[in-house]
Every structure is written in C-alpha cells, then in structure tokens.
Amino acid sequence: MKYKSIFMLAVLMMCASFAMARADVKYTIVAKYTFAKSSYGSAGSVEETNTNFVTAEKSRRELVQNYGIYTSKEILIFRCDLHQEFRLDDSLRIYTASKIVPALSTRASPGELKEDIPEMTTITNYAIKKLAPEKINSFDTQGYEVTTMTQYSGDSGNKEGKSTMKWWLADVPGWQSCNEIDSPLPASFTHVVNFHGTERRRYTEKNTGDVEEMNKLITQFPVRIEGTS
C-alpha cells in the first residue's frame, strides 16, 4: 500500500506541474502494424495509439499498444527544464525516473573504442523522392517516398534489409518533444550498448545517401505514413 501511495503521489505531482504549463500542441497518432509469418514468428498485428502534449520545455506522451491478447499503456513525461524523463507503467503501477541524455553524447570513449568486445555495424542508405503535394485533414502536406537500404554485419550477423515508406508532411511549429529537437542523423556514430544488462557490444551506425534531406524531413509533422519493410 505504501508503494502504491508513493506512485500515485508522484503521478499527481507530475501531472499537476505539467498542467500548469498549458500544452501548446496536442496531437494523436494512430498506427496499425501487420506482420507476415516468418522465421521470426507467426503472423499478427499491433494497433498503437500515441497521444502527445507538447510545450516548450515539457511534454507528455501516452502510448497504448493493443496486441489482441493484451493491451499495454505507458506514459512518458519529459521535463527538459529538469533534464529528467519519467516513465510510468499504468498496469503495474510503477514509475522510473532517469536523466535525459542527448543521443550523440553517448559516443564511445577512447577507452571503449579499444575495449576487446564484440562489434556490430549497420550501414543505412537513404534515397528520397519528392511526390505530389496533397491536402489531408485540412493540412497542406508535401509527399515523399523514402527508400531505406540497411546492411548489418559483425556480431548481429551479415544480412540486409529494405523498407519503402511514403510520408506526407506538414509544417507545424512546436510539435516535436523537447527531448527530440536537435537530434540529427550523424554520418557515423559509435557507442557501446549493453545486451541483457551485462553483454557489452560496440555498435557503429553509419548513414549514407540523402542524409541531409532526411534530417530536414524529420523536423516536419507526419500527417500520414504508409509503407512496407
């Protein structure tokens, strides 16, 4: 009972502090993912509803995922003014607090680059084709077709993957959560990741092709996305 009380108090405090600063932008993204039967598992689908409330230094994300046999709900609150991220699990009645760390600040140190651990590499090539503009739900959007080719090598195995996505994007100022702003795709990025908490891997990600254009697209609001991979 004590643990539950602490949880509820934390929720009320965080919600109250967020409510005091009115959300400048609120939007909901509804997506459905369908999976064909493969060596990775059986066929199935997932429905996802992602509701976001965004203001200058704070944002709240409510994520509901319906797997058919069960539904999960998670709430993430980003307090960039405090450099804190709060993650709340609605069903388990637990929450965690952690520091917001910019992605590129986790580059491998000189010591980690020399460390004798398994290595993995992914090389992703982006090819972007401009499509016709379209008006969708009162938004003036610009369409793009983004083809992604990814090569995997090293400890993760040698394989390739391809996806083709169509994006219809609109200029909506202030829609990005504060923890996502200024996070462009780098040409190359090496960091150390932990699998299962203890298995360390040195992971290098390389991006090629239309990377500069891709960095412009990810700042635009996605009104509609279609694709296969």
Mean pLDDT of 81-91: 86
Among candidates 10, 1, 4, 12, which has minimal Cα distance to 96? Answer: 10
Q: Is 110 helix (H, G, I), strand (E, B) or coil?
A: helix
The number of domains in the chain is: 2
- Of 65, 99, 133, which residue constitutes the final position of a domain? 99
**What single letter denotes the amino acid at residue 129?**
K
Give residue for tokens 């008006």: 135
Instruction: Clarify whether residues 118 and 189 are in a common domain.
Output: yes
Give 184's pLDDT tier (boundaries 50, 70, 90). Answer: confident
Instruction: Clarify whether residues 114 and 86 are in a common domain.
Output: no
- Of 77, 99, 121, which residue constitutes the final position of a domain? 99
- Of 99, 132, 157, which residue constitutes the final position of a domain? 99
Report CA torsion sign: 133, 135, 136, 140: positive
Q: Which residue has the higher pLDDT, 131 or 48?
A: 131
Report pLDDT for 180: 74
Cα–Cα distance between 82 and 101 in angstroms, integer?
12
Give 150's pLDDT tier (boundaries 50, 70, 90). Answer: very high
Instruction: Clarify whether residues 154 and 66 are in a common domain.
Output: no
Instruction: Clarify whether residues 27 and 65 are in a common domain.
Output: yes
Interior/surface letters 58-70, b for 16+ CB within 10 angstroms, e for the rest: bbbbbebbeeeee
Q: What is the mean pLDDT of the chain?
A: 80
Residue 167 CB burial class (10 angstroms; 0-12, 13-18, ≥19): buried
pLDDT at 134 over 90: yes
Least confident of 23-27, 46-50, 103-107: 103-107
Cα–Cα distance between 150 and 33 in angstroms, integer?
20
- For residues 98 and 82, the answer to whether their CB atoms sit within 8 Å is no
Instruction: Clarify whether residues 155 and 135 are in a common domain.
Output: yes
- For residues 225 and 167, the answer to whether their CB atoms sit within 8 Å is yes
Report CA torsion sign: 113, 114, 116, 118: positive
Cα–Cα distance between 184 and 211 in angstroms, integer?
9
Give 170's pLDDT tier (boundaries 50, 70, 90). Answer: very high
Look up the domain containing 29 and give its range: 2-99
Least confident of 11-20, 89-98, 150-159, 199-208: 11-20
Q: Which helix (H) or strand (E) holds 215?
A: helix 211-217
| Sheet strands (E) in 93-180 | 94-99, 119-130, 134-136, 139-154, 159-170
Report pLDDT for 1: 26
pLDDT at 146 over 70: yes
